[in-house]
Structures are given as structure tokens and as C-alpha cells.
Amino acid sequence: MKPRSRACIGSDENPNRIGNRGRRAHRARLRTGNPESPRDRLARTGVLPEGDVVFTCNHCPDAVGAATRMEQIHQDYKGKGVAMVAVNANNPGSLTPDELGYSPYNDSFEEMTPFAKENGWTFPYLYDGENQKFATACGAQATPHVFLFDGERKLVFTGRMDDMKRKSGPTEKSYLRDALDATLAGKEVGEKTPRPFGCSTKWLFKASNVEKDEANWKAKPVTVEDLSADLAKKLRANGTDKIRLINFWSTTCGPCVAEFPELVETYRRFQNRPFEFISISIDPAEKKAVVGKFLTSRHAALSDKTAPSVKEEGRTTNNYIWTAENTDPLADAIDKEWSGALPHTVLLGKDGKILWRHTDKLDIVEVRRQIVKALAE
């Protein structure tokens, strides 16, 4: 059974009304956090002495940008009797793939742990995405969205942390820090309700949007074209405003077949950004129909967002089959360091420079991490 803990403080009436008293909220699953205080106090009593609840998530660029600032606030105020708790109320089934283009993680319960570790969090991170009762009780609107309660469990502040939006790093102006300082000093908070800003909460009812998006994607045509050495050189040179993930694969390669759906999913995640995925089959030329059937079954379509730039290059697809018997010209064109083993993947910058390469089955989270890094440069 997965560990559980009380979800700290909710609200009895209108949760966004300053001065309302909180109550013990619905239970939420505890995934990560400091194994000592304030987690023990939270698990034992369900109540925080004075503390802030931050609704956040793994995928939203605004939440990602705020992640390190959240830990710094926790470190700066934990010795003053303030406890911080983060809550992921998003349901991962309510996110379309193209909403996940700014983080290597989705908003699942399982991916909360690596997200928290990557950001150095030492405070509890709770999951409310199954039924979203806690988020509903609090009135969470966006990620991040902060609720600050005083020692009497009265709401004294709700809104955004600061004005950094998706920027990472420190900030000179923090609404949350100002509210904490005032509350600890026994003073009234100045700016009580700065409007929250970030990605909207992914409520359960939004799952219907995902179903429509999935149906639309599966209806797209899938094509495959022959790849010559000259075209391979052009793909490597790039010269567009996009970064490129190129994958060498074969229908007879077990790891290739196993990882391919994740590569298609990755392409769908980043389709709204300057990114494209190009697959190059090393199957014999006479197996082109087999390759096409495989690609169709994995829905390796061309996104409507990518299609215009592909057309500008004089191409019609992002799926190719190497038609020559000798693969050396392909290696010379794309990656001279390729050993010949499959699968092989390279990430190209806009100038054609290889930013990252990997031979053998991929760790798809690492691939997405490399893409996010490249897009940020």
C-alpha cells in the first residue's frame, strides 16, 4: 500500500476569503519530503503551526521555475516555526501531450519523487490528483498557487509567490516572503491576494480534451520516404530554427521497437516548440512496406505544428528508410561516431552540432531532459 498522510489544512467556507479558519482536510498521498519535522508533525496531527501550502506540479514551466525558490523559502523559514507543504493536485489523465513541453516529467504520482529530488526539496510533496478533494476545498486555481495560514489556522494570504513566472533563480520581490515576515511579526499582511499565475489546475473533467486530442492524432496519416546520402547530410546540417532528435532503428531490433512509442510521445510533447523527431529505418529497402505498417501502428505522424517547416525544406515526412546496402555513408552524414549498433539516437542543435548522443535503449526521461536543456539555450 502506498504511504498516506493528512493533507494539512483546508478551509471551512470560501477558501479564498482571508480570515477564514482552516480545518483538517481530505487525505492526500505523501510521496516525498523531509523524514523529520515538519513531516512528522504533519502526519501525526494533520495540522501545521504556521505554514504555507503551495499547489504546484511537475510539468508547468511556471511551477518548474518556482521550484528552487520554494526550497529556499523552506530553508529560510523552517527555523522560525513555519512549515511548507507542496501539493500536486493535477490529474495526469487530464493533460494532453503538448502541454508537457517544458519538463521531462508528467504530473503522475510516480514522477513526483524524481522531480522533488531534482529540485532538492526537503519538505513534503503530496498528491491530490486522484480525487482533487483537497484542491477543491482550498480553491486552487493554478500552479503555483500559495495559501498561507497563521498559527490559528486562519488564511492570511493567498495568491502567487512572486512575479518571476517561469524564470528560475532568486527574486528581489516575493509576496510570500513579505506575508511570512508580517505574519511572524504579528502584523497584518499587506498584499493579501496577489492574483495567482501559472498553468491551470488539470481537473478530472478535462480528461475529455485528452480523448479528443488522442483521436485526432490517431487519425493523422503516416508516411515514410527513401533517404539518400545527400538528404541525410541536409538533415544533419539542419540550419532551421528547430532542434532535431534523430533515431536510427529497425523493425527487427527489440529495443528499437520497445522504445519507439516513447519517442513518438516525446515528439508530441514538444510539438509546440521548435523541435522535431526524425526516424531513420535501417531495414532493407524491400521492407519499406513493413516499416510503413509499423510506423502507422505506432502513430508516428507529422504534427500540424511541424508540417509547415518541413514543407519549407522541400520535405513531406519525418520518417525515412535508408535505401543503400552500405550504412557507412549514413554514418558519415549524421554521426561519424555511430558504432553501427541499434538503436542509436542523436540530438542536433539548430546549427547541426550534435548536442547529445546515445546508443542502445533510451532512458526517455533523460532524453526529455536533454531536449528541455537544448530548448532553453
pLDDT at position 82: 92
Of the pLDDT bands very low, low, confident and very high (cuts 50, 70, 90), residue 273 is: very high
Is it the case that residue 17 has pLDDT exceeding 60?
no
Give pTM, 2 decimals.
Answer: 0.87
Of the pLDDT bands very low, low, confident and very high (cuts 50, 70, 90), residue 50 is: low
- CA dist 87 → 16, 158, 194 (Å): 17, 15, 20
What are the chain's domains? Answer: 5-208 (3.40.30.10), 220-376 (3.40.30.10)
Instruction: Please give the biggest Cα pair distance in the chain.
Output: 78
DSSP codes, 84-150: EEEEE---GGG--GGG-TT-S--S-STTHHHHHHHTT--S-EEE-TTT-HHHHHHT--EESEEEEE-
Is it the case that residue 41 has pLDDT exceeding 50?
no
Is the CB of residue 66 less than 8 Å from the CB of residue 161?
yes
Alpha helices in the chain, H assignment, sequence order: 39-45, 61-77, 112-118, 133-138, 175-184, 207-218, 229-237, 254-269, 288-297, 307-312, 328-334, 364-376
Of the pLDDT bands very low, low, confident and very high (cuts 50, 70, 90), residue 172 is: confident
Is it the case that residue 14 has pLDDT exceeding 90?
no
Q: What is the mean pLDDT of residues 45-55?
A: 66
Which percentage of the chain shows pLDDT scores above 90? 82
Place of cell 519507439: 260
Is the CB of residue 278 less than 8 Å from the CB of residue 313?
no
231-250 pLDDT, tens digit each? 999 999 999 999 999 999 99
pLDDT at position 360: 98
Is it the case that residue 8 has pLDDT exceeding 90?
no
Of the pLDDT bands very low, low, confident and very high (cuts 50, 70, 90), residue 133 is: very high
Q: Starting at the edge strand that comes first in sequence, how are the strands of the sheet with 275-281 ordered?
A: 225-227, 319-322, 275-281, 243-249, 344-348, 354-359
Calpha distance 374→243 (Å, rounded): 8
Of the pLDDT bands very low, low, confident and very high (cuts 50, 70, 90), residue 18 is: low
